[in-house]
Amino acid sequence: MKIGVISDIHANLEALEAVLSSLETDKVDRIVCLGDIVGYGANPKECCEIIMSVCDVCVIGNHDAAIIGRMDYSYYYDAAHMVLDWTKTQLTDRCKEYLLSLPYFHEYEGVLLCHGSPIDAQNFEYIFSIEQAKTIIPYFEQLKPLTLIGHSHLFKTFAYIENEVNDVLAQKFGLRKNYKYIISAGSVGQPRDYDPRAGYGIYNTEMRTFEIKRVEYNIEKAASKITSSGLPNAFAKRLFMGL
Ligand SMILES: [Fe+2]
């Protein structure tokens, strides 16, 4: 079975539509979402409705949690805070109920899904550097063979074996026996690796392979909607730079 893995959509409808059309070409059997459907972008309601209809499973991200009062965001910097306040006014009750229903963890076909670190998922800790990855070594026994996470908006893969962790740099790779993996699956709507194309992954459960995919989308349109909605221009500009 081929599983499409999407994360950090951040209310970017143009990027989400481009990724879904690419996933159709990839002929995936199912789609899972690793959270942060909303925040930063101009189409939170539309993205939420699409995720509800196309995803088998979705876990909650910190921006989703902030919207429905499951996380205090008063300490967020002003611009991010302002978008979250605006997003609340855009979402329908159905969308809010959906966000409220999302779990922190989901185990799916032997794969653990969560937004940030699998250790204490409610705190949404980042794992994108090898130093951060090393903090998981003491939990090796508890780790599932594969954990898929979002949150950093970067593609990063960490392979664990006993007291060791290494990063994997390939675009497509097989998961080796005896190793356990944490894979950060990039971002659909706000990539931060200086490649502005929307990102997603494909996990093949039989072949035990993971592939990183990138797809072009209409950045101009997504960016102009952010500006015309009165949201901070910085969130429009960064889309062009992929950060
Ligand atoms: Fe995010």
- Residue tagged 């995803």 (tokens): 55
Q: What is the pTM of this model?
A: 0.97
Distance 35 CA to ligand 1 centre (A): 7
Q: Ligand 1 center to residue 133 CA distance, Å?
A: 18
pLDDT tens across 204-226, in order?
999 999 999 999 999 999 999 99
Question: pLDDT tens digits for 88-121?
Answer: 999 999 999 999 999 999 998 789 999 999 998 8
In this prediction, residues 38-64 reach a mean pLDDT of 97
Distance, CA of 231 to CA of 235 (rounded, Å): 8
Å from CA of 49 to ligand 1 middle: 18
Locate the domains of the chain by residue range.
2-241
Contact of 174 with 146, CB cutoff 8 Å: no
Q: Ligand 1 centre and the CA of 178: distance in Å?
A: 31
Q: Which homologous superfamily is 2-241 in?
A: Metallo-dependent phosphatases (3.60.21.10)
Measure 151 CA to ligand 1 centroid, in angstroms.
5
pLDDT digits (tens, 9 = 90+) for 33-49: 999 999 999 999 999 99
| Cβ contacts of 214 within 8 Å, gap of 6 or more | 195, 197, 198, 199
